[in-house]
Structure 1
Amino acid sequence: MSKVGCRIRTDFERPSRELIEKFKDIPVANLDDCMNRISAIDENIRPINNSKILGPAFTIKVPEGDNLMFHKAMDIAKPGDIIVIDAGGTTKRAIFGELMVNYCMIRGIGGIIVDGSLRDVDFISKLVDFPVYAKGITPNGPYKNGPGEINTDVVVGGQVVSPGDIVIGDGDGVLFIKPYEAEEILERVQKVQQIEAEIMDKIKNDKTYIRPWMDKKLEEIACDYI
């Protein structure tokens, strides 16, 4: 009998901390620009507090409004892991709240992202060292019946994420990077940041914003000046 939909993978290969830390100070917007501007998750999944998120993805898939697999995941995730929960995008029931967040913090988990709802937002929103992202907020609690999956490919905010993908999030949003693509993306983003620094320097010091592409595009689309 197939166990698809009810299975737990207890461990997986994580990228090195050295590789992950290379993304520490890079804005998500710059990264998304270097990934053809289609890689960020749904804009409705927002940060609940002001902490940035960075670490390897520990993925969970749960039925709508159920958190049995999240309870199990908290016991097997490793310090620094980012718990990424595919809750189907529904916001009718909270998948977790203050108790589970405190347990995650005690265990050294690096943060939580849920494509669904949470509760106890008055507590979670005040945390300064534990990032949490969610699609919604509701006082309605979850069921604990299962099934679900731990550490399989899931879809969160319209983006596929696999266990061990690098999770990066700030005030703009979140995206996931495959470890084998990380160095290439880093090389691209460094070039983008250098160009943007030069543009900003001209804006501040010369009060100019040079955009040769602008008039070229207007000419290309045959814009009429009246």
Structure 2
Amino acid sequence: MPTRIIAKTPPRLDADLIARFAAVPVAVVVDLLEGRTQVDPAIRPLRRIAGGPALLGSAVTAVCDPKDYGAVHHAIAVAEAGDVVVIDAGGRSDVAMIGDLLSTAARRKGIVGLVADGAVRDTGILGGWGDFAVFTRHVTARGPASKDGGTVDAVATIGGATVHPRDLILGDDDGVVVIPRDAAEGLIDKAEERARAEIGWETRLSAGETTLAVFGVPDAVRA
């Protein structure tokens, strides 16, 4: 069965709204969403993101059949600049769904990175790019066996989190969180407020206040 592309998908969120999430840590969003859309922490970035841009963009999903990466090719073709390719390979470690050649093609289009619940390869190259963030569960040298299956822009599951097409993907050194498309507008003000609060807490701690005072920890009872 050839790779299927789901034609009817939601539009991307407004670019200005997406950009506002760039200043918000993953941990803030995870806390506000009570962990419901946190991706399994075993899916890690290939390189440290500290000091560089976080992974942030609209999701284009590639739901892969076993050992087949056809959906990844087509997801890259469908994706636009600023998007994130989300690869649902069922967490398998047996074959890499993407390496440097497909990632180079994606990067050339302006795709900002990928999240793979599966394996990638050519990590010496992928891990050296500062403008293309790669998060993956596994690394393996073995490539796929076929390229004519899977589905693009179907609902995917990545590290236990459900990803709908054009949901927002946010990643940093703490991991990845899915921001449901329909929740993003209502979440951003709270997320920015929490991020500002954390800066204030850091300032107070730097000035010598205790964590007890800064965080309003109740008094302990001495036994």
In structure 1, distance between residues paired with 2:72 and 2:196: 41
In structure 2, distance between residues paired with 1:190 and 1:68: 39
Equivalent residue number for residue 17 of structure 1: 15
Question: Is the 2:37–2:177 Cα contact (8 Å) retained in structure 1?
Answer: yes
Q: How does 1:152-171 map to 2 (within 5 A)?
A: 152-171=154-173
Equivalent residue number for residue 29 of structure 1: 27
Tell me, what secondary structure is at the counterpart of 1:22?
Answer: helix
In structure 1, distance between residues paired with 2:193 and 2:12: 27
Question: Is the 2:96–2:140 Cα contact (8 Å) retained in structure 1?
Answer: yes
Shift of 1:6: 5.4
Aligned length: 216
TM-score (norm. length: structure 2): 0.88
TM-score (norm. length: structure 1): 0.87
- Cα shift readout 1:127-152 (whole Å, capped 9, x = no counterpart): 11111111111101112154211101
Q: How does 1:169-184 map to 2 (within 5 A)?
A: 169-184=171-186
Q: How does 1:23-102 map to 2 (within 5 A)?
A: 23-51=21-49, 52-102=54-104
Unaligned runs of 5+ in 2: none
**2:6 corresponds to which letter in structure 1?**
R
In structure 2, distance between residues paired with 1:59 and 1:17: 19
Shift of 1:39: 2.4
In structure 1, distance between residues paired with 2:187 and 2:14: 16
Question: Is the 2:69–2:149 Cα contact (8 Å) retained in structure 1?
Answer: no
Unaligned runs of 5+ in 1: 220-224
Match 2:116 to one of 94, 114, 117: 114
Shift of 1:193: 2.5
Equivalent residue number for residue 5 of structure 2: 8
**2:150 corresponds to which letter in structure 1?**
G
- Quote the sequence identity (%): 29
In structure 2, distance between residues paired with 1:157 and 1:207: 38
Question: Is the 2:25–2:195 Cα contact (8 Å) retained in structure 1?
Answer: no
- Cα shift readout 1:28-86 (whole Å, capped 9, x = no counterpart): 01111111133210111111124521110001100232201111222222222211010
Bigger Cα Rg: 1
**1:149 corresponds to which letter in structure 2?**
T
Question: Is the 1:166–1:177 Cα contact (8 Å) retained in structure 2?
Answer: yes
Question: Is the 1:10–1:76 Cα contact (8 Å) retained in structure 2?
Answer: no
Question: Is the 1:50–1:131 Cα contact (8 Å) retained in structure 2?
Answer: no
Task: Output the aligned Cα RMSD.
Answer: 2.1
